[in-house]
Structure formats: structure tokens, C-alpha cells
Structure 1
Amino acid sequence: MGFPKQKIYWFCQLFGWTLLILVEYLAYVLEDGFDADTLYLAVANIFLGITLTHLYRLMIRRWSWVRLPFVQLAPRVLLSVFVLALIMTMVNMPFDQIIIPDKLIDEPWPVIGYILSWGKAMLAWVLSYTVYHYVEQTRNAEIEKILLKTSIRETEAKVLRSQLNPHFVFNALNSIRALVYENPDKAQQGITQLSNLLRNSLLADRRKTVELREEMKTVEDYLALEKVRYEDRLRSRIELDGRTLFWQVPPMMLQTLVENAIKHGVSQAVGGGFVSVSSTIKADKLHITIRNTGVLGDRTASGGFGLANTAQRLELLYGPEASFEIDQEDDDPSEGPVVCAHISIPAQSEGLFRRAATAKMMSGE
């Protein structure tokens, strides 16, 4: 664990002023010999320098100078340096006229010399302190922006997760109700599947990603419920590469796309249609393909929410390394017009949200 900034600040104050004054005092001793009065003045200057620069520090912190634009900060800093140098001059000149009057005889304008001499020391201290905190403030502001942006993205992602269509729930309940007397076992199974879907939907806003195998269980429950409604008009195929089962994917994303495929594709076809989901790994990326009967124009014209949802969620989670594309394929001889959606997900499972774990830098001295 590093030293607290407060301790570092006081160490730099004591060490810096002590070194500066002692160097000048030793130069005087080597030239003119030891003088107790000069030593006392040197010690007094150390404490005076520390006091004045500390007051400057309190002032710029009190008025938040480091938050000002450079054009407003610069004149304030220069004026402060002049005032501090003037105070050091007003304190030292009367004593020097008593202790070392011979040193001032040949100086036509000693006040200017004193101000310039102390001004250099004050300028070095003031610039060092001000520039450090100005840079730190700018960096903290950038970190605040990153954290705020990350927080906003997390909030957006939570809204985008768990998008189970309420119309689907209504239709599923109606389908299950019709089975209660006709096929109680199947109705009971349908209730279990709907319960699983609702539970996963509620849990989705608590998790950024889930394993693909878990997501596919949600898709299978969804397809089973839709088959109760569409019966033979809905055909489904699922072909997953075993290497992809534990890959992390956004929760409820595939369910949303499959729902979109049925709503805007299969349900619009006179004779029904099919939905297929397949996965594989290529070039260290997970590739998921969803194909279904349908015409892409019908889907985009109806404003399919699932498409924008998927693209935005992938962008929020993985950035530009992930991709989502949807195209109209050539007509299949046996299936007719087919729409193909393709998702590519990079190896990392957290993407941009790993920034949310970045701790805010300590504000301080």
C-alpha cells in the first residue's frame, strides 16, 4: 500500500523548502563564515515558505482553480507567484539590511532582485503543485465520464435484457388452457415450460451473460410452447457444436430472435415454416446462425424489435468485435424464401462491462 497523499505532500514541503534554503545558506557560510542570525533567518524562511505555499494550496482548493480553463487559470497562478514573492521580499529585506548591509550597497534596485529571486522559487513550487492537480483533475474527470458512460450502458443493457413479449405469454396461456381438458399431461408440461421462461426472463436483468446451453433450454421451451399453438405449421431444428455449449452469450437474446423469426416469418407463411438454430466456433469466435421461413422485407417493415435489440446488446457487451447480420437467402426448393440471421461473439465474455469494475481514483491532496 502506498503512502497517503497527505504525507507525501508534507514531505515534499519540508524537504523542498529545507533543501532550497539550506543550499543558499551554505553558499553564504562558505563565502562569509558562520553567522547565527543568518541561520535563524534561514530557518524562519523555511517555515515562512511552507506557510505561504500551504495557504496558496488551501486557496486554490477552496476556489477550485484547477477546474478553471487554462486561460483563466494562468493569470491567477502568475499573480499568486508575484504576491508570494513580494511577501518573502518584504520579510527578508529588512533583516538582510541589518545582517548583511554590505551585500545590498551595490544593488540599485534590490526590491526587484529580491522579487525575481523569490519569484523563481515560488514559481517552481506553484507550477509543480498546480500542474499536478490540474492533470489529476482532468484525469479524474475522464474517469468519471468513463464510469458514467459504463453505468448508462449497464442500465441500457438491463432494459434490453428480459424482453419476453407479453403477447406471447397471453397466447401461451390460451394454448395451455385449451389443453387442460384435452391433454392434461401436455398442459402440465406447458405450464412448466412457461414457468421456466418467465423465471429466466426475470433473472436476465441480473446477469450479463449465460452459457449457450442454458440459453438454448430457454429457446427449446419457447419453441415447445409455440408448437402447441402452431402445431404442424411450425418445424424446428437445433444443431449445436459441442464446443460452443459453455460459451457465454447474452441472456434471452436467442429467444428474442427465434420469437421474431416465428412472428414475422413462420406465422406469415400460408403453410407455416421452419426455424433452425446452429452454432460453431471459427477463428476463436462463436458463430450462431438462425434460419427461418420468411421474407426480410416483411420483418423490417413491421419494425421487428428483436433485430435492433440484438445489435444494441452485442455492441454494449462486446463492442465492435461482435457482429450481427441478417440477410435474405435464395429461395430454398423445399422451404421457399429463407431469412438468415448470423451472430458472431468474441472469446471474452464480458467485453465493455469489465470497465465497470475499475475503481474510482482516490481524490486527495
Structure 2
Amino acid sequence: MNRRKIYWLCQIIGWTGYSLSDLIIYILRDGYSYGQVVNVIISIGLGIGITHLYRLILKRLHWLELPLSQIIPRTLMAVLIMAVTMVVLSVPLEYFTIPRVQKRFDEIGGIPVIYLAWGFLNWTKNLLLWSVIYHVYQYFSLSKRNEIERVQLESSVKDFEAKILRAQLNPHFMFNALNSIRALIYEDPNKAKEALTQLSSLLRNSLLSDRQKTVSLNEELKTVQDYLSLEKIRYEDRLEVQTNISPDTLNVQVPPMMVQTLVENAVKHGISKPLKGGFISIQAQLERNFLNLIIRNTGKLERAENSDGVGLLNTSQRLVLIYGTGASFRINQETDEVVRAEVRLPVQ
């Protein structure tokens, strides 16, 4: 049921219930009369009509958007005006529909002030209660809508930021890949052709990564394998690759290009610097509801810190955007010659 139907249902039930309670009191006190029933039916219409008019004015003047300090005095003034209006309309109505009231007014030659005061206070109480209920409902409804809009906005911003971060990864990766191919063109054309085939695969995966928040670890490792194949041609025996991938991790979802970025960082700062080269080790295993990715490489951590560090920074930011505090990333100097990077992701 939509909000409009709920509003009209509450209006009808509320004013009908209030008017019927008055009718029961009249019947128990003075007995039943046809005029009392007519008076109750018209009173229901008046109550619904005047409060609905007030609601339209609220929306037209945007009072619901005002701070509480401005809403309260406006609401009190509106309630008093509505109460006076209801007294002006209901007293003549009672005079013409209820014989007992008509007889009393005729006997005293007018409308008693105390009768007007009682009617004013009674309507003020009822209309004030209606206003409080309506404003409280609107307040919580508006708060809920604002919270939904805030969550949607935060989600959109996170998606936008994640796309920007992925876009920052691709040019850096392409630069290194093209340099590898350029070095092979004159030395070994056949290997250059093979490298071009691998590069085309990398390009395809890179383009797809901009459309996906996560990919399977198996797909990510294929990208890493293509990248390392290019670097293996470039560094030859200077690059040693070790892998220890648990089969039950291959279908776990990971951010695209994340492992590749860490491997690329390891090659750049661990393998390319020393003349003798070094090794890269990639491990993946499940631990309860988390995927542990460990990348170890020859190198000194301070070398990576002295660089631009874009890849490592993007890795941390992307994990926060996708997993919040559920994921973690850390990199440290495991031994004098080995750097260890560890990513811990919740299994989704």
C-alpha cells in the first residue's frame, strides 16, 4: 500500500472513530436522534476536509523542510485558526441538526460563551493531536528518505572512485608492457610476436576490468601469468616465479588487476634493481571466511617507499571502497632480502 492510500485510510478511520465516540456519548446521555447521526457524518467530512487543506498548505509552503524552531510556532498558529474555523462551522451545524441544542440556544437567546470556549478547546486538542502525529510521521519518513539517498549517493561516489582508481592502473601497466615488447622486437621477432599475443590478452582483460567490480581469482591469475610471461622474456633467468595456489580459492572473487598490480610492483622494485634478479612467490589459501593472498619478492621495502607508490596506494583505496573495513592490506620487510605483501579479503 502506497503512502497516499495510507494517508486517506488513516484520515477516514481517525475522524470516523473520533466522531462515533462522540455519538455514543450523546446517545448514552440524551438518547438517539436522527440529527445527531447527520451531525456526526458532516463532522467527519469537516475534520477530513480542514486537515487535508492544512496538509496541502504545508506542502505548498514547504513547512516540513523548515527547522523545528520555525515549524512549532507556525503549527500552533495553524491549529488555532483551524479550531476557530471548526467552531464557526460546527456550532450552526449542531443548532440545525440537534433539537436539544436548538432548544437550549432559543431558551437563553443566543450561544453561551462557555459553549464556544468548550468547543474551541475540544477542537484545538484534536487538531493539535492530528498535527503532532502528522509531523512526527513526516519527520521519520523524511529522515528515512534522506538516509536512503545518502546511502545511494555514497554508493555512487564509491563506484565512481573505484572506476577512477582502475583507470589509473591501466596506463601504468601498459607502459611497462609496451617497454617489454619494444626490447624484444630487434632481439627476437618470434618472441615479440608471442609477446604481442599476450599483450592483446592483457588489453582485453584490462578493458573488461573497468566494467567489473570483482573477478574470479582464476581470471586474475591468468592476467598475472600473461604479465609475468612478458617479464620472463625480458628478464630471462633473472626472474624466478613460484606459485602455491590452493584449488578452492580459484572461484573466490577479487578486485580486477589487484594481484597484477602487486606483482608488477614486485617486479619493478624487486627484480629490476639487483643485477642477479630475484624471485616472486604468489600464494593463495582460504582461512575460514577469508582469502589470504601473499606475494613475496626479492627486494628492499624502502625502495618501494621512495617511488611514487601509486599501485600500492590504489590497492589500499580500492579495498576500502569495495570491502570497507572487512579487508586488509599490509606490506613489510620479511627478511633483509625479502618483501612480503599480504591481502586478506572476505569471501563473498
Give me the TM-score of the superposition, normalised by structure 2: 0.91
AA aligned to 2:268 is K
Aligned mates of 2:172, 2:192 — CA distance in 1: 19
Aligned mates of 2:254, 2:264 — CA distance in 1: 17
Query: Secondary structure of 2:233's partner?
Result: helix
* Gap regions ≥5 residues in structure 2: none
Contact 2:183 / 2:234 at 8 angstroms: preserved in 1?
A: no
Contact 1:287 / 1:343 at 8 angstroms: preserved in 2?
A: yes
Aligned mates of 2:240, 2:279 — CA distance in 1: 4
Does residue 17 of structure 1 match 2:15? yes
Which of 289, 308, 320 is residue 303 of structure 1 equivalent to? 308
* Gap regions ≥5 residues in structure 1: 332-336, 349-365
Contact 1:67 / 1:137 at 8 angstroms: preserved in 2?
A: no
Residues 36-57 of structure 1: CA deviation (Å, up to 9, x unaligned): 3333332221111111011011
Q: CA deviation at 1:171?
A: 4.8
Does residue 4 of structure 1 match 2:2? yes
AA aligned to 1:199 is R
Counterpart for residue 334 of structure 1: none
Counterparts of 1:228-247 in structure 2, within 5 Å, are 228-247=233-252
Aligned mates of 1:302, 1:170 — CA distance in 2: 16
Specify whether residues 225 and 108 from structure 1 end up closer, same or farther in structure 2 by C-alpha distance, changes over 3 A only. same
Counterpart for residue 291 of structure 1: 296
Residues 257-283 of structure 1: CA deviation (Å, up to 9, x unaligned): 111111122222232222111111113
Specify whether residues 248 and 95 from structure 1 end up closer, same or farther in structure 2 by C-alpha distance, changes over 3 A only. closer
Query: Secondary structure of 2:135's partner?
Result: helix
AA aligned to 1:305 is V
Aligned mates of 1:206, 1:320 — CA distance in 2: 23
Aligned mates of 1:234, 1:192 — CA distance in 2: 21
Count how many residue pairs are aligned between Structure 1 and Structure 2.
341
Aligned mates of 1:177, 1:311 — CA distance in 2: 31
Query: Secondary structure of 1:230's partner?
Result: helix
Contact 1:212 / 1:247 at 8 angstroms: preserved in 2?
A: yes
Query: Secondary structure of 2:335's partner?
Result: strand
Does residue 54 of structure 1 match 2:52? yes
Give me the TM-score of the superposition, normalised by structure 1: 0.87
Specify whether residues 324 and 192 from structure 1 end up closer, same or farther in structure 2 by C-alpha distance, changes over 3 A only. same
Which of 130, 144, 149 is residue 144 of structure 1 equivalent to? 149
Q: CA deviation at 1:127?
A: 1.6
AA aligned to 1:342 is E
Greater Cα shift, 108-117 or 177-186? 177-186
Contact 1:288 / 1:342 at 8 angstroms: preserved in 2?
A: yes
Which of 171, 175, 178 is residue 173 of structure 1 equivalent to? 178
Counterpart for residue 277 of structure 1: 282
Greater Cα shift, 55-64 or 226-235? 226-235
Q: CA deviation at 1:107?
A: 5.9
Aligned mates of 2:59, 2:255 — CA distance in 1: 45
Query: Secondary structure of 2:276's partner?
Result: coil
AA aligned to 1:79 is M
Specify whether residues 170 and 311 from structure 1 end up closer, same or farther in structure 2 by C-alpha distance, changes over 3 A only. closer
Query: Secondary structure of 1:148's partner?
Result: helix
Specify whether residues 193 and 162 from structure 1 end up closer, same or farther in structure 2 by C-alpha distance, changes over 3 A only. farther
Greater Cα shift, 220-229 or 165-174? 165-174
Aligned mates of 2:340, 2:54 — CA distance in 1: 67
Specify whether residues 211 and 167 from structure 1 end up closer, same or farther in structure 2 by C-alpha distance, changes over 3 A only. closer
Specify whether residues 267 and 184 from structure 1 end up closer, same or farther in structure 2 by C-alpha distance, changes over 3 A only. closer
Q: CA RMSD in A?
A: 2.2
Specify whether residues 197 and 186 from structure 1 end up closer, same or farther in structure 2 by C-alpha distance, changes over 3 A only. same
Counterparts of 1:75-94 in structure 2, within 5 Å, are 75-94=73-92
Counterpart for residue 264 of structure 1: 269
Counterpart for residue 338 of structure 1: 338
Aligned mates of 2:38, 2:202 — CA distance in 1: 83
Q: CA deviation at 1:230?
A: 2.2
Q: CA deviation at 1:17?
A: 1.4
AA aligned to 1:37 is G
Counterpart for residue 190 of structure 2: 185
AA aligned to 2:200 is S
Aligned mates of 1:305, 1:12 — CA distance in 2: 59
Counterpart for residue 226 of structure 2: 221
Greater Cα shift, 33-42 or 231-240? 33-42
Contact 1:67 / 1:134 at 8 angstroms: preserved in 2?
A: no
Which of 44, 64, 67 is residue 66 of structure 1 equivalent to? 64
Aligned mates of 1:83, 1:263 — CA distance in 2: 78
Contact 1:287 / 1:344 at 8 angstroms: preserved in 2?
A: yes
Aligned mates of 1:6, 1:88 — CA distance in 2: 25
